Amino acid sequence: MINFKTIGQRIKIERKQNGLTQEKLAEMLKISTEHLSRIESGSYRPSLSLIENMSEIFKISESEIMFGKESEFTANKSLAERIENLTDDKKQAIMIIIDLISK
Protein backbone atom coordinates (compact mmCIF):
# COMPACT_ATOMS: atom_id res chain seq x y z
CA MET A 1 0.00 0.00 0.00
CA ILE A 2 1.32 3.42 -0.93
CA ASN A 3 1.67 5.86 1.95
CA PHE A 4 1.08 9.32 0.46
CA LYS A 5 1.92 11.05 3.73
CA THR A 6 5.40 9.52 3.59
CA ILE A 7 5.75 10.50 -0.07
CA GLY A 8 4.78 14.05 0.87
CA GLN A 9 7.40 14.08 3.61
CA ARG A 10 10.06 12.93 1.13
CA ILE A 11 9.04 15.68 -1.29
CA LYS A 12 9.26 18.29 1.47
CA ILE A 13 12.72 17.06 2.53
CA GLU A 14 13.98 17.09 -1.06
CA ARG A 15 12.51 20.55 -1.65
CA LYS A 16 14.29 21.94 1.40
CA GLN A 17 17.56 20.15 0.58
CA ASN A 18 17.41 21.80 -2.85
CA GLY A 19 16.92 25.22 -1.26
CA LEU A 20 13.45 25.70 -2.70
CA THR A 21 10.44 27.32 -1.09
CA GLN A 22 6.99 25.89 -1.63
CA GLU A 23 6.25 28.93 -3.77
CA LYS A 24 9.26 28.39 -6.03
CA LEU A 25 8.74 24.64 -6.45
CA ALA A 26 5.02 25.13 -7.10
CA GLU A 27 5.90 27.70 -9.76
CA MET A 28 8.38 25.29 -11.38
CA LEU A 29 5.73 22.54 -11.37
CA LYS A 30 3.00 24.91 -12.62
CA ILE A 31 0.72 24.15 -9.67
CA SER A 32 -0.56 26.30 -6.83
CA THR A 33 1.32 26.61 -3.55
CA GLU A 34 -1.78 25.26 -1.82
CA HIS A 35 -1.72 22.16 -4.04
CA LEU A 36 1.95 21.53 -3.21
CA SER A 37 1.29 22.09 0.49
CA ARG A 38 -1.45 19.46 0.41
CA ILE A 39 0.82 17.02 -1.43
CA GLU A 40 3.52 17.53 1.20
CA SER A 41 1.04 16.96 4.01
CA GLY A 42 -0.30 13.80 2.38
CA SER A 43 -3.77 15.25 1.80
CA TYR A 44 -3.39 15.13 -2.00
CA ARG A 45 -1.88 12.39 -4.11
CA PRO A 46 0.71 13.67 -6.59
CA SER A 47 0.12 12.63 -10.20
CA LEU A 48 2.73 10.53 -11.94
CA SER A 49 3.62 13.48 -14.17
CA LEU A 50 4.23 15.65 -11.09
CA ILE A 51 6.45 12.96 -9.58
CA GLU A 52 8.34 12.76 -12.86
CA ASN A 53 8.81 16.54 -12.93
CA MET A 54 9.93 16.59 -9.30
CA SER A 55 12.46 13.84 -9.94
CA GLU A 56 13.97 15.95 -12.73
CA ILE A 57 14.09 19.04 -10.50
CA PHE A 58 15.56 17.15 -7.52
CA LYS A 59 17.81 14.99 -9.76
CA ILE A 60 16.62 11.76 -8.14
CA SER A 61 14.61 8.83 -9.47
CA GLU A 62 10.83 8.65 -9.35
CA SER A 63 11.16 5.47 -7.28
CA GLU A 64 13.18 7.38 -4.69
CA ILE A 65 10.29 9.82 -4.30
CA MET A 66 7.77 6.98 -4.12
CA PHE A 67 9.68 4.40 -2.08
CA GLY A 68 12.66 6.15 -0.51
CA LYS A 69 16.35 5.79 -1.07
CA GLU A 70 17.56 2.60 -2.69
CA SER A 71 19.04 1.43 0.61
CA GLU A 72 15.62 1.77 2.28
CA PHE A 73 14.00 -0.10 -0.60
CA THR A 74 16.62 -2.85 -0.50
CA ALA A 75 16.24 -3.22 3.26
CA ASN A 76 12.45 -3.45 2.95
CA LYS A 77 12.74 -5.98 0.13
CA SER A 78 15.20 -8.05 2.16
CA LEU A 79 12.87 -8.01 5.16
CA ALA A 80 9.91 -9.03 3.00
CA GLU A 81 11.90 -11.90 1.50
CA ARG A 82 12.93 -13.13 4.93
CA ILE A 83 9.36 -13.00 6.23
CA GLU A 84 8.11 -14.80 3.12
CA ASN A 85 10.28 -17.81 3.97
CA LEU A 86 8.91 -18.19 7.51
CA THR A 87 6.28 -20.67 8.61
CA ASP A 88 2.73 -19.39 9.02
CA ASP A 89 3.06 -19.57 12.83
CA LYS A 90 6.17 -17.39 12.77
CA LYS A 91 4.50 -14.91 10.40
CA GLN A 92 1.59 -14.66 12.82
CA ALA A 93 4.00 -14.05 15.70
CA ILE A 94 5.65 -11.23 13.75
CA MET A 95 2.25 -9.66 13.05
CA ILE A 96 1.47 -9.71 16.79
CA ILE A 97 4.83 -8.06 17.55
CA ILE A 98 4.25 -5.40 14.88
CA ASP A 99 0.78 -4.70 16.28
CA LEU A 100 2.23 -4.30 19.77
CA ILE A 101 5.05 -1.95 18.83
CA SER A 102 3.01 0.19 16.44
CA LYS A 103 0.50 1.27 19.12
For the segment 10-18, the average pLDDT, to the nearest whole number, is 96
Q: Given this model, what pLDDT does residue 76 score?
A: 67
Is there a single domain that holds both residue 54 and residue 83?
A: no
Domain count, the chain: 2
For the segment 36-45, the average pLDDT, to the nearest whole number, is 97
Is there a single domain that holds both residue 33 and residue 75?
A: no
Q: Given this model, what pLDDT does residue 74 score?
A: 65
- The per-residue pLDDT for range 41-98, each reduced to its tens digit, is 999 999 999 999 999 999 999 989 998 876 555 666 777 888 888 999 999 998 899 8
Give the predicted TM-score (pTM) of the model.
Answer: 0.67
Is there a single domain that holds both residue 50 and residue 87?
A: no
CATH of the domain at 8: 1.10.260.40
Residue 57 CA from chain centroid, whole number: 17
Compute the distance between CA of residue 15 and CA of residue 12 in angstroms, rounded to an integer: 5
Compute the distance between CA of residue 90 and CA of residue 103 in angstroms, rounded to an integer: 21
Is there a single domain that holds both residue 17 and residue 62?
A: yes
Is there a single domain that holds both residue 11 and residue 47?
A: yes
Is there a single domain that holds both residue 28 and residue 51?
A: yes
Q: ∠ CA(96), CA(9), CA(100), 5° rounding?
A: 10
Q: Given this model, what pLDDT does residue 71 score?
A: 52
Compute the distance between CA of residue 18 and CA of residue 59 in angstroms, rounded to an integer: 10
Is there a single domain that holds both residue 52 and residue 78?
A: no
30: left (phi over 0), alpha (psi -120 to 50) or beta: left
Is there a single domain that holds both residue 58 and residue 86?
A: no
In Å, what is the CA distance from 61 to each residue of 22, 30, 44, 70, 77? 20, 20, 20, 10, 18
Is there a single domain that holds both residue 96 and residue 62?
A: no
Q: Given this model, what pLDDT does residue 72 score?
A: 58
- Domain residue limits at 95: 70-101
Amino acid sitting at position 20: L
Is there a single domain that holds both residue 75 and residue 43?
A: no
Q: Given this model, what pLDDT does residue 83 score?
A: 86
